[in-house]
Amino acid sequence: MSAEHASMRLIDDYARGDTQLPADTLWALESHLETCASCRSRLADSVTNEAPGLAALVDTVRAGLEPQLDAAVQMPSRLRRPRWVSAWLTPAMTPWLLMTVAVTLIALLLDAAGLSGNFGGASPLLLIAPVLPLCAVAASWSRGLDPAYELMASTARAGLPLLLRRTTSVLAVVLPVLLLEGWLTGAMTAAQWLLPSLAFTSTALALGSVVGVTRAAIGLAAAWGVFVVAPAWAGGPSPLALRLDQLPLWGLLLALGTGVVIARRKAYSAL
Amino acid sequence: MTPALSAADAAPKTYAWEIRATGLSVRAGRKKIAVDGLDLSLGTGAHGLLGPNGAGKTTLIRALATVLRPAAGELDLFGSSVGALADLRAVRRRIGYLPQEFGYYKRFTVREFVEYMAWLKEVPKADVPAAVQRAVERVGLADQADQRMKTLSGGMLRRAGIAQAIVNDPAVLLLDEPTAGLDPAQRLRFRELLQELGREACVVVSTHLVEDVAAACSDVVLFADGKLVFQGTPQDLAAAGSPEHPGDSPLERGYSALLHNSEQQKGAW
């Protein structure tokens, strides 16, 4: 660090340990040695030359310890969870995310089995895509499903930023899967479901500031099931809500939801 | 290495009491008022919160931890009113909280769990590893730090819980039944830790074990049916009892005398 180094005489005295060094000199020397590699190497030389007794002692101890050190088994190192993962995802969310992905796969299978005829011509995948991210979002901010909620609710980070983090990580997993499957089946274009699913997510967060995110998500998904999926199942025409000309309405809902979330950003400090 | 001081710790104290409640009422659930018009001031030191089952101890601690909002009255933490604060972050950064039954992620190791809590409490990133190691060592879990939470015994879990509560060097530390599940030797060690923490922070320990209070607390708060019955030193509590009151130790006799006087004890239990 500093341009000043300890004199060879000082280092020799320190290595021999027989001359009484003043306490302040000793402290200064030791703190310098901690940061200066070249002085440490000079000290090592000095120990071998000036204090052969000490060097021999250290060697004997080393020789005595060596067999024991070799015998000691290294702890098997476990795959450590990187810290950024727990910042974005909680273990409580993982099963819900996996379930969501599994549901998309089932819808994909139904689609492949040619069942789309039962849904008024709409692909099953398309019917569930808008509300699918909601189940994982609900699980990410729920009292009942997150065992650590009581601990989390009292911490500084509990609040909208943490909720948004978790929502983002849910979307980052679910949306690419849906995109890929939509592209594979050719049953739906991204424009048809991407905006509705974002609109649903933002509405769930907005309603969540009043009734709780879990309740809001369940309510929205149920409403979607009753008003869109059930009529299609019953053999009705292709759902109106998923036609491309409805996109401005979905955009409006997304903007509205986002606006409410921003306006009520203080209301999220408890789960 | 000494932990780095945060700006909030280094700033001059502008409040008289860490915790100050005036006419505080808190609801448990939708209807039941569990804390009813409480006036309480707590400063630095270890405060034992005593009271029969159902007295509202847990509800009070949850309100102090800012998990529950006050239904009425004022609650001031570090001199600022919790009800009026739109942003609780600054207050929450300085709180440590161990709930009575705390949930945790079973697959986390002790270290990962305490690290995660440190992250949630916004401990500066560079200080996290040292703070976690220190907290884990203080509760005597250094050897088990890399074991998963699900492999721990009940007493070790409690200690992991205490470790997460103290990882941010809180100025207000709230412990709800921390000695449940600890064996006698661990309880002795815990009392030492409590005395140590009580020198610098305002520690509130809810318990129904009178002897824990006698051994580790500088101050006793007796609480029944959501109301304050008594606040004073353990000696004052002992002095309140006389030989005709039920109990095996002076403190227990004082406890039953005060509860009897306030006519809060109903039925045989």
- 8 Å CB contact of A148 and B66: no
- Asked if the model's pLDDT at residue A256 lies above 60, the reply is yes
Domain membership of residue A118 as a residue range: 83-268
If asked whether residues A67 and A152 sit together in one domain, one would say: no
- What is the pLDDT averaged over residues B197-213? 89
A124 domain-assigned: yes
The domain boundary, picked from A71, A95, A124, lies at A71
If asked whether residues A90 and A189 sit together in one domain, one would say: yes
Tell me the nearest-neighbour CA distance from B62 into chain A, angstroms: 9
- Is A76 in a helix, a strand, or coil? coil
pLDDT at B13: 78
- Asked if the model's pLDDT at residue A70 lies above 90, the reply is no
Calculate ∠ Cα A203-A208-A213, nearest 5°: 105
pLDDT at B60: 93
Lowest-confidence segment of A121-130, B11-20, B111-120, B205-214 by average pLDDT: A121-130
If asked whether residues A65 and A87 sit together in one domain, one would say: no
- Asked if the model's pLDDT at residue B225 lies above 80, the reply is yes
A44 domain-assigned: yes
- CA nearest A93: which of A163, A191, A23? A163
Among all residues of chain A, which has the CA nearest to that of B106? Answer: A91
Among candidates B105, B112, B164 on the partner chain, residue whose Cβ is nearest the Cβ of A147: B105
pLDDT at B166: 94
Cα distance between residue A78 and residue A89, in whole Å: 20
Task: Give contacts of A92 with chain B, Cβ < 8 Å.
Answer: 105
- What is the pLDDT averaged over residues A84-110? 85
If asked whether residues A20 and A109 sit together in one domain, one would say: no
A224 domain-assigned: yes
pLDDT at A153: 87
The domain boundary, picked from A37, A71, A105, lies at A71
If asked whether residues A67 and A92 sit together in one domain, one would say: no
- Asked if the model's pLDDT at residue A267 lies above 80, the reply is no
Interface of B with A (CB under 8 A): 65-67, 69, 86-90, 92-93, 95, 97, 99, 101-109, 112, 115-117, 119-122, 146, 164
Evaluate whether A93 touches A136 at the Cβ level (below 8 Å).
yes
**Of residues A2 and A227, which shows the higher confidence score?**
A227
Structure token digits, residue B226: 């959501």
Task: Give contacts of A95 with chain B, Cβ < 8 Å.
Answer: none
- Asked if the model's pLDDT at residue B264 lies above 50, the reply is no
Evaluate whether A54 touches A14 at the Cβ level (below 8 Å).
no
| Confidence label for B135 from pLDDT (cuts 50, 70 and 90) | very high
A1 domain-assigned: no
- Asked if the model's pLDDT at residue B153 lies above 80, the reply is yes
Among candidates B109, B117, B122 on the partner chain, residue whose Cβ is nearest the Cβ of A151: B117
Task: Give contacts of B177 with chain A, Cβ < 8 Å.
Answer: none
Interface test with B, best of A34, A150, A165 (most B CBs within 10 A): A150
Tell me the nearest-neighbour CA distance from B59 into chain A, angstroms: 13
If asked whether residues A126 and A48 sit together in one domain, one would say: no
Look over chain A and give the mean of its residue pLDDT values, rounded to a whole number.
Answer: 83
Query: How many domains, chain A?
Result: 2
If asked whether residues A30 and A112 sit together in one domain, one would say: no
Task: Give contacts of A157 with chain B, Cβ < 8 Å.
Answer: 119-122
Among all residues of chain A, which has the CA nearest to that of B66? Answer: A154
- Asked if the model's pLDDT at residue B116 lies above 90, the reply is yes
Tell me the nearest-neighbour CA distance from A35 into chain B, angstroms: 16
Among candidates B87, B105, B121 on the partner chain, residue whose Cβ is nearest the Cβ of A91: B105
- Asked if the model's pLDDT at residue B230 lies above 80, the reply is yes
- 8 Å CB contact of B67 and A150: yes
- 8 Å CB contact of B105 and A156: no
- What is the pLDDT averaged over residues A11-35? 87
Strands B45-50 and B202-207: parallel
- Asked if the model's pLDDT at residue A160 lies above 60, the reply is yes
Calculate ∠ Cα B37-B41-B45, nearest 5°: 140
If asked whether residues A243 and A263 sit together in one domain, one would say: yes
Among all residues of chain B, which has the CA nearest to that of A89? Answer: B116
pLDDT at B121: 93
- Over the Cα atoms of chain B, what is R_g? 19
If asked whether residues A243 and A175 sit together in one domain, one would say: yes
| Confidence label for A120 from pLDDT (cuts 50, 70 and 90) | low
The domain boundary, picked from A71, A91, A126, lies at A71
If asked whether residues A103 and A124 sit together in one domain, one would say: yes
- What is the pLDDT averaged over residues A107-134? 75
Q: How far is residue A65 from each of residues A47, A53, A57, B174, measured CA to CA in Å?
A: 21, 19, 12, 47
Tell me the nearest-neighbour CA distance from A249 into chain B, angstroms: 33
pLDDT at A79: 64
Confidence check on the interface: ipTM exceeds 0.90, yes or no: no
A2 domain-assigned: no
A143 domain-assigned: yes
Among all residues of chain A, which has the CA nearest to that of B173? Answer: A154
- Asked if the model's pLDDT at residue B268 lies above 50, the reply is no
pLDDT at A76: 56
A195 domain-assigned: yes
| Confidence label for A130 from pLDDT (cuts 50, 70 and 90) | confident
Percent of chain B past pLDDT 70, that is, above it, reads 93
- Asked if the model's pLDDT at residue B87 lies above 80, the reply is no
Structure token digits, residue B120: 């949630």
Task: Give contacts of A150 with chain B, Cβ < 8 Å.
Answer: 67, 99, 101-103
- What is the pLDDT averaged over residues A121-136? 80
- Asked if the model's pLDDT at residue B35 lies above 50, the reply is yes
- 8 Å CB contact of B69 and A156: no
- What is the pLDDT averaged over residues B186-199? 90
pLDDT at B1: 45
If asked whether residues A162 and A248 sit together in one domain, one would say: yes
pLDDT tens, A230-242?
A: 877 776 666 666 7
- What is the pLDDT averaged over residues B160-170? 94
Tell me the nearest-neighbour CA distance from B262 into chain A, angstroms: 33
What crossing angle do the helices spanning A132-140 and A94-112 adopt, rounded to 10°? 170
Cα distance between residue A106 and residue B168, in whole Å: 46
If asked whether residues A30 and A156 sit together in one domain, one would say: no
pLDDT at A1: 43
Residues with Cβ within 8 Å of B79's Cβ and at least 6 positions away in sequence, in order, are B14, B15, B16, B20
Interface of A with B (CB under 8 A): 75, 78, 80-81, 83, 86-87, 90-92, 146-159, 162, 266, 269-270
pLDDT tens, A167-199?
A: 999 899 888 888 888 888 776 777 778 888 899
A77 domain-assigned: no
- Asked if the model's pLDDT at residue B172 lies above 90, the reply is yes
- What is the pLDDT averaged over residues A76-93? 75
- What is the pLDDT averaged over residues A57-77? 80
